[in-house]
């Protein structure tokens, strides 16, 4: 199946950057969100990003113009779904939210449309029944920042047709990514299962007062060769995302060990989600992030 038009559901950081990545590689993309405020913010970010790329001579003015013309933002569901071949879902990592988003989009898209979920942890078989043809629902997991990180995970769920898998895998290659095949469904896929083991231990060390936040990150970077420490990474990806991931797993399993760590819960309650709010494990107040 040939992908000619792409729609992205969710105009947050991940959704908008996924849309921009596809637009940069020649695909007409519409980024949809129910919130006009979110689409306006995403549009402003895209405009600023392209302008900076030209100023830094990382894109020519003509390249930026072509990419920007491929990209549109809307809060009109029908406009987003019309003639769309691939929908990429980038909403909150909650099964109920994903089902609602896919069900709404499925009502306005062509029958052949494929649905790719950017879920960080949740396997697509848990929400595939939200659309008429579950064989067209698959996990396509990007990493933050989506405009930079090369790896994407493509998951072969038991319900996923071979055509859906092949089409999505090839699309990932076409937009400049390196797809990794996950042969069977498992919570968290490959990368986040490994990452979660690291961050859970880092949070445990914080809660127990074993070492400072700074020293934990310094130790991991210096001894394990990581470019960022686990707590720095949580600030970048979003403490709210990590908290909600743990809470969704806890609601499903009921196991006490699946609850989020105290240091995550405390920061979530205070609205300290990391870089996007100016404070998380670290204080970013007054610091200008490079876009």
Give me the active site residues, please.
Answer: 120, 141, 153, 192
Distance (Å, rounded) from C-alpha 208 to C-alpha 274?
21
- The sheet carrying 178-182 orders its strands as 71-74, 29-32, 6-9, 86-89, 114-117, 137-141, 151-155, 178-182
- Which of 28, 116, 136, 114 minimizes the C-alpha distance to 74? 28
Q: Could you give the residue ranges of the DSSP H alpha helices within 82-229?
A: 95-106, 162-174, 191-207, 213-224
- Which of 203, 201, 154, 156 minimizes the C-alpha distance to 179? 154
3-state secondary structure of 77: helix
HSE-up (13 A, CA, CB side) for residue 68: 19
Backbone φ and ψ for 119, nearest 5 degrees, come out as -50, 140
Give the CA angle between residues 12, 17, 21 to the nearest 5°: 155
Pairing label, strands 151-155, 137-141 = antiparallel
Which helix or strand (DSSP H or E) is residue 19 part of?
Answer: helix 13-24
CB 165 within 8 A of CB 105: no
């Amino acid at each position: 199946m040939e992908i000619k038009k792409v729609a992205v559901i969710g105009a947050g950081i991940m959704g908008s950057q996924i849309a921009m990545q596809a637009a940069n590689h020649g695909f007409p993309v519409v980024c949809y969100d129910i919130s006009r405020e979110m689409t306006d913010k995403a549009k402003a970010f895209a405009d600023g990003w392209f302008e900076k790329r030209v100023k830094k001579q990382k894109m020519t003015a003509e390249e930026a113009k072509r990419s920007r013309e491929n990209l549109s933002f809307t809060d009109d569901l029908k406009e987003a779904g019309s003639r769309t071949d691939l929908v990429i879902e980038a909403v909150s990592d909650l099964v109920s939210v994903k089902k609602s988003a896919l069900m709404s989009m499925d009502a306005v898209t062509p029958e052949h449309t494929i649905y790719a979920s950017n879920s960080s942890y949740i396997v697509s078989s848990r929400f595939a029944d939200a659309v008429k043809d579950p064989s067209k629902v698959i996990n396509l997991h990007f990493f933050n920042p989506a405009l930079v990180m090369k790896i994407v995970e493509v998951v072969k769920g038991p319900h996923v047709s071979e055509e859906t898998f092949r089409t999505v895998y090839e699309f990932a290659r076409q937009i400049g990514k390196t797809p990794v095949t996950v042969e069977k469904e498992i919570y968290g896929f490959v990368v986040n299962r490994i990452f979660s083991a690291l961050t859970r231990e880092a949070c445990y060390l914080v809660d127990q007062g074993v070492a400072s936040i700074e020293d934990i990150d310094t130790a991991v970077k210096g001894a394990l060769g990581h470019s960022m420490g686990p707590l720095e990474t949580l600030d970048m990806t979003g403490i709210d995302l990590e908290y909600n991931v743990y809470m969704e797993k806890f609601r499903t399993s009921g196991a006490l060990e699946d609850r989020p760590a105290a240091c995550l819960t405390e920061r979530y309650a205070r609205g300290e989600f990391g870089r996007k709010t100016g404070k998380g494990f670290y204080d970013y107040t007054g610091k200008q992030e490079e876009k």
